[in-house]
Every structure is written in C-alpha cells, then in structure tokens.
Amino acid sequence: MGIGRPDLTVAIGDWQLANPIMTASGTFGYGAEFADFVNLNRLGAIVVKGVSVKPRIGNPPPRIVETACGMLNAIGLENPGIEKFLTDKIPQLKKYTCGIVVNILGDSLEEYCTLAERLNETDITAIEVNISCPNVKKGGVAFGTDAKMVYDVTRCVRERSDKPIIMKLSPNVTDIAAMAAAAEEGGANAVSLINTLLGMAIDIRARRPKLANKVGGLSGPAIKPIALRMVWQVAQRVKIPVIGIGGISTVEDVVEFLLAGATAIQIGTANLVNPKAAEELIDGLENYLLENKIASVKELINGLIT
C-alpha cells in the first residue's frame, strides 16, 4: 500500500507556505498577468515586481538580450511607486489565497524604512528587500556588497514592520555567506539568493553593447551552478531559512536546491519561457516525492550527503 499525498508545506518563521514554489520578482508582474495560465492560488507565494518610494521609468531600450542558456536584463526597476501600488495593485492581490510577497528597493536607508512602514499597514504576507540597489549617499555602492549596510537595511526594515522580512542577496560579492549572516543578525526571517550576476553582450557589427545600459543582470540556467553553490554555502552559515533562486526550470533543479539547504525556491526566467512553469513544478515535485516514497518535502531540505 503506497503512501498518501506527500506533505508539501514549508515554513518561513511563522509563515506556513502550501508548497515551496514561489515566483521571482520582476518575472511574474503582479500576478494577474499570469492568471490565464496559472492557478495562482496553488503557488506557495507570488513575489511581485519591485516597488520604490517614487515612480521609476526604468532604463531606455533595448533592455533585454538573450544569451546562451539565459538572458540579460537592464529594465531599471521600472515601477509606479508605492502610493500607486497601494491603490492599484493591492486590491487585485487580495483576490489570491497564496502568499503575497512585495519586493522593495531604495537608494537610501530612509527609503527602505518608508516602504516598510507603508507596507506594514497592508494585508500582504511578507516583504522581500532588494539590496542590489546603489546607496546614493555612499557614492553608489550597492547596499548588498557591504555587510554593515546589509545589517543596517535589515535592521531598519525589521524595526518598522512586523511582517516576515526576506533579504534578497546579491551574488556580486566576495563572501555571500557573510552578507547572509549580517542579514540574520539584523533580524531577517529569511534570505533569498541569488539576484542576477552582472553581465554584458556586444553587437560585433555595430561594435556597441547590445543593452542601452551597457551592462545588465544575467539570469536563467547559465547561473544555476553558481546559485546552487551559494545557497549551499549560506545554508551552512545561517539558521534562518534560505530561498533559492537562479536558473530553476525543472523538478531536478528544485530538488537540488532543497538538498543544498533551501527551504523554498523562486522561479524567474523560466516564467518567461513557459508561463505555466511554476504550477507544473508543484505537480512535478509532488510526483517526485510519491515516486521516491518521501512523505514530506521537509525530508529533502538540507539533505545533501557530503
């Protein structure tokens, strides 16, 4: 007699997710854009497109370039700003029963604090903090590349919100585990990694960069081995949950990240290739557990044998 349906639930602090499959910010809009393709209520969570204090128009086109096994993007964090987000997007998000995570970004500590305060008044589930942004008051150094700044941003958001706080880490650092430790010390409930790697593409006929911004963020299957290694390193260093991101498109990818120490994962570029990717991976993960007679997905987390 076989086992019943496996338990897909995972926890990030006091937040219980129906399953570990989330969508990554910037690749899934505000959820509604994918409603015709995906049963959004089945997802562990939707992480919406990043929001800032004031509206951003983003970078000039071209802003996306395909690469071998991935893509480069330099969208420039285009968004309508927090006030329009609260009036136009929050009412739509309330329709869904899955977790709703809002990604925030800022150019100063004060902006992160303001966003945390405004979102704390809403019914969203959690806040994900993008710290790959430049600190304009520190000469443009990205918050996520300095452990002290990682701590400071985490602390300020933590003090202004009682929502679960997820710090999204940049891979463009020497020691990502040190950044994760700073986020943990600052009061984060979880860390998500990795954000995109800096990359470039050149048009050899025009002899110009293919992106108007010259450089952009590399995502997709090409970065998966790097992301997997960083997730494993961070999981060895911190006690808070780790959310894996980077080139995940198959059930095998999902299981690898869980074994490496991720409690949950986010699907990014795969959504742009197959809008149904996230929901298909939920089914695939359940089938994997059934086929291998694993009663709970929790048995996979940190299950790597070394």
What positions carry a catalytic annotation? 133
Q: State the angle between helix axes of 147-160 and 176-186 in degrees (0 to 180), rounded to the nearest 10.
A: 30
Contact 198, 215 (CB under 8 A): yes
Parallel, antiparallel or unpaired: strands 202-203 and 208-209: antiparallel
Distant-in-sequence, close-in-space partners of 36: CB < 8 Å, separation ≥ 6: none
Rg of the chain in Å (alpha carbons):
18
Residue 115 neighbours by CB under 8 Å, 6+ apart: 51, 52, 53, 82, 104, 106, 127
Q: What are the beta bridge partners of residue 112?
A: none
Residues 256/233, Cβ–Cβ less than 8 Å: no
CA 212 to chain centre: 25
DSSP of 172-214, one letter per residue?
SSS-HHHHHHHHHHHT-SEEEE--PEEEE-EETTTTEESSTTS
